[in-house]
């Protein structure tokens, strides 16, 4: 009975509702907090199990799979590329649980999620991608899961470490007049740079 219920939910229509994510900013650094709000509106009566905001870091790497295939009666090795994805980080923030939304319901909920300081920054290349995705979901009784419109991917960078240059040491040189030519000479000099006479002690 449980399998049939899950099968029916998979092909049931999503609720006539809308989830809209609004973020304070889309470019952040590792260790930052994501602040935003979720707008929820419903055009029909919906029995909600839960509405939550999800933050995930997903790494996708293109790999090569080798396999044997018969070609004119002989086994030959062939290669096929495929994408291997794994979730490196996942966190969520519950907005509401076990609630009935009436027709015309509309409300706005603030949320906050923390990006881990020890995570990895957004990265895109030909064979490797690391993406930070934020989205909102509504699970309701006997209905397909509803996903938020807008946003989705955020850019995450490493924090900028500022290097403070070493302080410049300023030494003050005291000048004294030469006893012979009256020219100025450093107090630490033994001979006058002007006339060459030995400094009187």
Name the average pLDDT for the chain. Answer: 87
φ/ψ (deg, to 5) at 2: -65, -40
Q: What is the pLDDT of residues 88-136, one digit of tens each?
A: 999 999 999 999 999 999 999 999 999 999 999 999 998 899 999 999 9
Residues 26-49, mean pLDDT to the nearest whole number:
94
Q: What is the pLDDT of residues 5-15, one digit of tens each?
A: 454 555 678 89
Global confidence as pTM = 0.69
* Nearest partner of 119 among 84, 154, 83, 164, judged by Cα: 154
Strand segments (E) across 72-142: 74-101, 106-114, 123-124, 128-140
pLDDT surpassing 50 at residue 178 = yes
What fold characterizes domain 2-59+93-157?
Immunoglobulin-like (2.60.40)
pLDDT-derived band at 56 (thresholds 50, 70, 90) equals very high
pLDDT-derived band at 163 (thresholds 50, 70, 90) equals confident
Give 10 or 167, the one with higher predicted confidence: 167
């Amino acid at each position: 009975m449980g399998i049939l219920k899950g099968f029916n939910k998979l092909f049931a229509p999503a609720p006539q509702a809308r989830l809209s994510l609004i973020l304070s900013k889309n470019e952040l650094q590792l260790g930052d907090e994501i602040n935003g709000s979720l707008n929820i509106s419903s055009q029909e009566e919906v029995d909600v199990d839960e509405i939550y905001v999800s933050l995930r870091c997903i790494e996708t790497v293109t790999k090569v799979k080798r396999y044997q295939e018969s070609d004119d009666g002989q086994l030959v090795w062939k290669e096929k590329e495929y994408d291997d994805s794994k979730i490196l980080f996942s966190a969520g923030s519950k907005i509401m649980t076990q609630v009935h939304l009436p027709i015309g319901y509309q409300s706005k909920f603030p949320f906050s999620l923390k990006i881990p300081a020890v995570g990895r920054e957004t990265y895109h290349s030909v064979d490797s991608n690391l993406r930070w995705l934020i989205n909102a979901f509504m699970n309701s009784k006997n209905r397909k899961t509803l996903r938020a419109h807008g946003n989705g991917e955020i850019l995450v960078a490493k924090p900028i470490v500022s290097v403070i240059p070493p302080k410049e040491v300023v030494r003050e040189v005291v000048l004294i007049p030469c006893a012979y030519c009256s020219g100025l000479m450093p107090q630490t000099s033994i001979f006058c740079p002007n006339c060459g006479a030995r400094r009187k002690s």
